[in-house]
Structure 1
Amino acid sequence: MERYWKVGDLSRMTGLTVRTLRFYDQIGLFSPSAQTDTGHRLYNERDLSRLTQIMSLKELGISLEEIKSIVGGKQISPLEIVNLQMTRIKEQIQVQQKLLEQLQHVSKLMQGKAPLEVEDFTQLLLAMKTVHEKPVIQQRTSWEYRLDVLGEVLGEEKEATQSEED
């Protein structure tokens, strides 16, 4: 007989919040295999295996959209995932190296009591901006998506309420 877990059980087992699991279901990333008569989500062993894969990919820094693509049928090998992560890490190292070089340059100027030019600060600020810009853009995109989903849910609830009143 197949074994099933409710969302709360799965949450305790994985360390993910119930809210996260519901969000994954909402965006079509991870949905339960079954439901109770009262609508409670039920997950089986295959679901648990898929969730483990999703969590592993997330740990590698892969975005939810990319993970959805990977687990949703787009064939990608474990080697390709590792190569993707190595490429991302190399990019991060390059950005950090540029920032380090700029900081070292400004430090040398300050230690030598040389006057700092506007260009020195501009280059440093650009290097710092690059380090922080990508995560901010990713966060903004994530929030925009979540707000769109929330808007759809609220719109559906409003329509349902209006239908009940009619």
Structure 2
Amino acid sequence: MKRHWKVGDLAQLTGLTVRTLRFYNQIGLFSPSGQTESGHRLYDESDLAQLQQILSLKEMGLSLEEIKSALSGEQISPLEIVNLQMTRLKEQIKLQQKLLEQLQHVSKQLQGKTALSVEDFTRLLQAMKKNQEKLVIERRTGWERHLDLLGDFLAANKEAKIKEDKT
């Protein structure tokens, strides 16, 4: 039996907001594969696979327009997307490993009461800068999600107020 999810259920399942899913539908990036008789959007397992591709490409820094273009032209297969994600993750691990190595080196120098050279400071600062840039991007994404949630909350309150005023 094929499973189906309404937009709210899909949002809860994926951690996205209903607002985001509706926006993706509005711009033609991600549409439900079905509808209930009352007009509610229904998503199935193939939709989940497509959403995973979208989120993977978004995480890699592609704009929504670029993602739409890539997926509509079927230029990128699901396997290629997974491989791209693995490559990106390996790069992040290398950055973290480099930072760890620099911190260990500095720690060893400081424990031995050895003065740090300009090169030691430079390498450490470069490793920290690359790591910091990653954190800034992650924080921005987090704030975008919070703003989406706030928008959903305000829209729901507005709808409730309108219904209340009509009664």
State the 1:49 CA deviation. Answer: 2.0
Q: Residues of 2 paired with 1:129 and 1:116: CA distance?
A: 19
Please name the residue that 1:25 is paired with: 25
- Say how many residue pairs are matched: 141
Secondary structure of residue in 2 paired with 1:23: helix
Corresponding letter in the other structure for 1:115: A
Q: Residues of 1 paired with 2:139 and 2:109: CA distance?
A: 35
Corresponding letter in the other structure for 2:87: T
* Structure 1 stretches lacking a partner, 5+ long: 148-166
Q: Residues of 2 paired with 1:6 and 1:90: CA distance?
A: 35
Please name the residue that 1:80 is paired with: 80
Identity rate, percent: 66
Is the CA contact 2:54–2:67 (under 8 Å) kept in the aligned structure 1?
yes
Please name the residue that 1:50 is paired with: 47
Please name the residue that 2:108 is paired with: 108
**What aligned pairs does 1:14-163 form with structure 2 within 5 A after superposition?**
14-32=14-32, 42-43=41-42, 45=44, 49-55=46-52, 58=55, 61-63=59-61, 65=63, 67-137=67-137
CA RMSD of aligned residues (A): 4.0
TM-score, scaled relative to structure 1: 0.58
Corresponding letter in the other structure for 2:108: K
* Structure 2 stretches lacking a partner, 5+ long: 148-167
State the 1:51 CA deviation. Answer: 3.4
State the 1:132 CA deviation. Answer: 2.2
- Higher RCO by CA contacts (8 Å cutoff, separation 6 or greater): 2
Corresponding letter in the other structure for 1:55: Q
Q: Residues of 1 paired with 2:93 and 2:49: CA distance?
A: 28
- In structure 2, relative to structure 1, the CA distance for the partners of 1:51 and 1:143 (3 Å cut) is same
TM-score, scaled relative to structure 2: 0.58
